Amino acid sequence: MSTTIARPATVQHHWFVIDAENEVLGRLATRIATVLRGKHKPSFTSHVDCGDFVVVVNADKIRLTGKKLDSKRYHHYSGYPGGLRSRTAREVLATHPERVLESAVRRMLPKNRLSRQVFKKLKVYAGAEHPHEAQAPLTFPSHV
């Protein structure tokens, strides 16, 4: 038996859309990271971008369990002394709700050049509308 290795020219990328309304942040982020990397496909190859595009709508209606809305903190450092800024998840969801899901997915991907390329295939929108209707996205697979 021989092992088939996916080649970048033969990989087909599909588009999926998911409604994040009432979805738990961590559980949704793991499913998205799996699809972005392509681990849901039988032809998965770790050094080739086999993943699919994911469009997430209603990111402002995502759910955090427990007391994470007030205890989970997001940090940003400007590079200057005294430039560390920290905000709670409630504050970030109020101003930029897509950043919460993007940071959760980014942290679930490996830290290498390929994952930075894979992360660009994630499109997150706070509302119910998205500009990717021309790609004819499929509904997000529930078994992934």
pLDDT above 70 as % of the chain: 97
Q: How would residue 4 be classed by pLDDT, with cut points 50, 70 and 90?
A: confident
Q: How would residue 143 be classed by pLDDT, with cut points 50, 70 and 90?
A: low
Q: 144 pLDDT exceeds 80?
A: no
pTM of the model: 0.92
List, in order, residues 6 or more apart from 59 with CB less than 8 Å away: 20, 97, 98, 100, 101, 124, 125, 126
For the beta carbon of residue 43, count every other beta carbon within 10 angstroms. 14
CATH architecture of 15-64+97-139: Alpha-Beta Complex (3.90)
Average pLDDT over residues 9-29: 95
Q: 1 pLDDT exceeds 90?
A: no
Q: 26 pLDDT exceeds 80?
A: yes
